[in-house]
Structure 1
């Protein structure tokens, strides 16, 4: 378990706004003294999903809205203890992901009603626990658009998809991606596999190699390690949550990007206004809320069929206008 460096003295010494229209509080509401925010993460902050939370928190700290500390690589069995330490140390808002420690995390929140908790979760908020709000990366809009790119670029019509665990937040992105790919090639086939880990690049890489051997010419890289396999074998990949094209300039064609800033900023505003309450902040991940986007094509500019680019432009405008809805399907996806 790795913790950001700060002294023990520093550690120990130290929404209605989301309801209805889920409108952000005015930016001026964030101008007061910074609040103490703590992050509790089960993986390294370099991991795709957590890196987006970490990036948003660092941005909020840089502009003076929060004082941010975090602990990474926390085991599920140790998660509640770390949460309690931060609650005891004076944190006003604790953020993290409790997919493997749901019950324990909610029990901690119940013991510290004056602390706001904003946690990645596969479950919904509970009105009886008013200081515990949930979120998830609902970036199915961007995943769908990235699927259109994949469907247009595949020659074999066989796409490999490697995920961490078949939980809702992964499943919905895979289904959206598959729907987008099918827009360009209705008879497309998919190989779907889960590695049973959030951070095991070697295992993800080996799983991807097997898919390539089985005919896949594009890989959906839900986990780190997949793009490495694609790069070594000279095929293409589609990224997820973060843009890794700079690391794989001839491999990663497109990526569905998660922007956690709207989610965190809404929570900070609610805490500062004294209006934080149990709510589902997942809506802030929608493209129309600024929570998701399709990464620039960069090195693949001019290499993607115009038919796909036209459809992406059309769908993007419709999604942002609320005229097209990407289906949210949380069921486990299966190979074709």
Structure 2
């Protein structure tokens, strides 16, 4: 386990960012800024891992603005998770963020012990009104995943697409289903190979699984995990990214990516903590495209190489999603191979 506090506390006065932090005046013309919220991140994987990297990035951005004072622990085991949460709560942190998919009950028990600490946790479950300081979120980026599926469906020549995921939990399942629905928009006869590697961070295993799919005819891969794009690159097939944009690292391989932006989710929590109104809620909605929580990454080197028919559909569907005229289905059931 690694505990890190890489940035110093910063105060911004005389800027628009600081203006939102002003809480009062003392004497004639003397204005004081609110102290940054002492915030901790607790992660079971390295902060370089796709999903957690987006939370970490948003927290660093908030610290750079002066809204929070951020420390974090990475590679925390599920069995150690509750202890680390308690240590951060005891250390005076007022906001703790993380992911409790493997330590759900333990994390909620810790939150109950520290009612004055706001817990914002990635979770497959919903909030509980009986635990008012524990809010949940998930990366509901099915909107962009659906759009990336349209592109994938237009790029496959074999009509065979492979999907490699970590675990078949709702946050992964819904993205795969949305991707598959998008691909079927272009070709309803596309076949899918679906596999889960049983790990959130095992690039060699993900790569091995992808190799097997390529051997079985897949010419486009959905890279829900690190390692898949490496296999695609080595075998000369295409990949679709997830959560982060890796087009620059795989310029001839990654066609498109559904990007998660955690900033709307974290910024909402920061505002609620500042206002003293943080409560049990489902922050998942702030990952929707309409809230700015997800976008389709630029195509980079594939600009102009995706069929115009597909890009026209992507453009029209994106506008409809943002306006509310079109809703991408949220299907949390485990996806299966065709």
TM category, shorter: over 0.9
Matches within 5 A, 1:4-83: 4=4, 29-31=20-22, 32-83=34-85
Choose which of 243, 246, 253 in structure 1 pairs with 2:245: 243
Relative to structure 1, the CA distance from residue 133 to residue 43 in structure 2 (aligned partners, 3 Å threshold; closer, same or farther) is: same
| Residue 211 (structure 2) pairs with residue 218 (structure 1) | no
Q: Specify the alignment match of 1:19 in structure 2.
A: none
Choose 1 or 2 for highest CA Rg.
Answer: 2
Mapped contact 1:3–1:70 kept (Cα < 8 A):
yes
Q: Normalized against structure 1, the TM-score is what? A: 0.93
Between the aligned partners of 1:28 and 1:260, the Cα distance in structure 2 is 23
Matches within 5 A, 1:149-298: 149-298=151-300
Give SS of 2:119's match.
Answer: strand
Mapped contact 2:5–2:70 kept (Cα < 8 A):
no
What 5-or-longer segments of structure 2 have no aligned partner? Answer: 9-16, 23-33
Mapped contact 1:99–1:122 kept (Cα < 8 A):
yes
Give SS of 1:59's match.
Answer: helix
Relative to structure 1, the CA distance from residue 5 to residue 289 in structure 2 (aligned partners, 3 Å threshold; closer, same or farther) is: closer
Segments ≥4 residues shifted beyond 3 Å:
26-31
Q: Kindly state the Cα deviation for residue 27 of structure 1 after the two structures are TM-superposed.
A: 9.1
Choose which of 103, 107, 110 in structure 1 pairs with 2:109: 107
Between the aligned partners of 1:147 and 1:172, the Cα distance in structure 2 is 13
Q: Specify the alignment match of 1:17 in structure 2.
A: none
Aligned residues: 318
Relative to structure 1, the CA distance from residue 273 to residue 27 in structure 2 (aligned partners, 3 Å threshold; closer, same or farther) is: farther
Between the aligned partners of 1:98 and 1:213, the Cα distance in structure 2 is 36
Task: Output one character per residue of 1:115-142: Cα deviation in whole Å (capped at 9) or x when no partner.
Answer: 0000000000000000000000000000
Between the aligned partners of 1:5 and 1:266, the Cα distance in structure 2 is 23
Task: Output one character per residue of 1:265-287: Cα deviation in whole Å (capped at 9) or x when no partner.
Answer: 00000000000000000000000
Q: Normalized against structure 2, the TM-score is what? A: 0.93
Relative to structure 1, the CA distance from residue 30 to residue 150 in structure 2 (aligned partners, 3 Å threshold; closer, same or farther) is: farther
RMSD of the TM alignment (CA)? Answer: 1.3
Task: Output one character per residue of 1:25-58: Cα deviation in whole Å (capped at 9) or x when no partner.
Answer: x995445321101000000000000000000000
Mapped contact 1:98–1:105 kept (Cα < 8 A):
yes
Between the aligned partners of 2:151 and 2:204, the Cα distance in structure 1 is 26
